[in-house]
Amino acid sequence: MQFLFHRESALFLSTPVENLFLLEYMPQAPEGYVKAYLYGLALCYCRALPGEDIAAALQMSGQELAEAFLYWQAKGFLSVISSEPLIVEYKNIKHAHVEGASDSAAVTRRYQNLLADMQAVLGARMLTGPELSKVYDWLEVFGFAEDAVLLLVRHCVKQRGERVSVKYMDAVARAWADEGVLTAEAAEEYLSQYDELNGGAQRLLKRWRVGRRPTEDELALYRLWTNDWGFDEAAIFAACAEMTGTSKPSFKYLNAILDSWRTGGTLTAQDADARMRARAAVTELARLAFSRAGLKRAPTGDQIDQIERWHTAFHMDAELILFAADCAVNASSPFLKMRKLISQWHEEGIATLEAARESVSQPKRGADGSVPRALDYPQRKYSAEELENMGINLLDGE
């Protein structure tokens, strides 16, 4: 069942207001705050009055209304239970006046200036009692300075807008506390670094044509690359070239690339350029070796890596690797034959073309005295000029 007055009847009813309020609190209240308090009080007594949009009815902005209720909440006269929808619980002002209000109201009064500054940042976003308790924890449990809290709130609003949840702000506050960011000075330095990281991460997403903000996890990776591993932005962007073959570049993929670069000592754009030129040279050498061995396909990434190891770890120059390809041209598995020859030469300490020719010029003959077909190949010698023209001269002298 429901019982209520008709609106016209409700207009002629009365809303009781204590003289205590009128004489002690009303004269000191900022302009408009009394109007908000009385209108809300009237709605408590008569649901027939319009209350859907109090700000419009009072010709106040949402922010002005939020500041008014925050003010009376600090006095202990009411509590904001919910901001959407707006639910305000009025209390007996006698208890607040005589007994000094509740502990939460006393804390609210203590930080009234900070809360007013926060409300200016949040606009019409009204903080409830439980949400204010989170803010008080930042101040009294975590040890935040008031000006640091204000910087935190501004940062969160910048990231998520005025409707940002206190749950999100509380997570940020805990992260700041873990890193010792408790003062305004520390917060300003932290935010400066954050903006730099966010800008770099945002530019990466833009490069990949991803129209969103970087996530906290992505920012953490970017911070790892720059702060812990020592990469500059130019090197990070240069590493993106290694993701050309994927349709979905990602921070996770890029992290794996940069981790391998870090292990190899590649930290700057100049290092990256030298690395990629060397890689391009090895790739070209692998392509030529496959062609000389009679293979009609392109080498895989693993095969290119193996050829690179032959050059760097076994100290086999390009001419020697191409000679191994010539030797493998008639084999059933040319690349396997190349690998066996290179391994054999490495074990025997052979590192020159002349020594390799000498090694294969005296092959073990079969029972019939014939030379195995795999070694019956047309030998070819490459001049330095030919190797340079093939685009693999970058491997020389490494």
State the pLDDT at residue 363: 56
Once rounded to an integer, what is the mean pLDDT over residues 186-195? 92
Do residues 276 and 238 make contact, with C-beta atoms less than 8 angstroms apart? Answer: yes
- Specify the pLDDT at position 362: 67
Q: Is 197 helix (H, G, I), strand (E, B) or coil?
A: helix
CB 88 within 8 A of CB 128: no
Hey, what amino acid is at 158? K
Q: Assess contact for 108 and 74: CB atoms under 8 A.
A: yes
The distance of Cα 223 from the centroid of its chain, to the nearest Å, equals: 8
- Please name every residue paired with 88 in a beta bridge, in sequence order, or none if there are none: 80
Instruction: Return the amino acid letter for 122.
Output: L
Predicted TM-score (pTM) above 0.75: no
* pLDDT tens for each residue of 7-61: 677 777 788 898 988 988 899 888 889 999 999 998 888 765 665 678 888 898 8
User: Burial of 380 by CB count in 10 Å (0-12 exposed, 13-18 middle, 19+ buried)?
Assistant: exposed
> What pLDDT is stored for residue 394 in this prediction?
42
**Each residue of 201-257: pLDDT tens digit?**
999 999 999 988 898 899 999 999 998 898 888 889 888 888 877 788 999 999 999
In this prediction, residue 145 has a pLDDT band, given cuts at 50, 70 and 90, of: very high
Model pLDDT, residue 38: 92
Q: How many CA atoms lie within 13 A of 355 on its CB side?
A: 15
List strand residue ranges (DSSP E) for 167-268, in order.
none
| pLDDT score for 373 | 46
Four-point Cα dihedral 180, 183, 186, 190, nearest 10: 80
Helix 251-263 and helix 184-207: axis angle, to 10°? 100
Which pLDDT value is given to residue 54? 85
Going along the chain, which residue ranges are E strands? 78-83, 86-90
- 134 SS3 class: helix
Is the pLDDT score of 397 beyond 50? Answer: no
What integer best gives the mean pLDDT of the chain?
83
Residues 6+ apart with CB under 8 A from 43: 49, 51, 54
Residue whose entry in the numeric block shows the structure tokens 């020389």: 396
Stretch 287-298: mean pLDDT, rounded? 92
Peptide bond between residue 85 and the one before it cis (omega within 30 degrees of 0): yes
Q: Which of 102-106, 279-283, 365-369 has the highest mean pLDDT?
A: 279-283
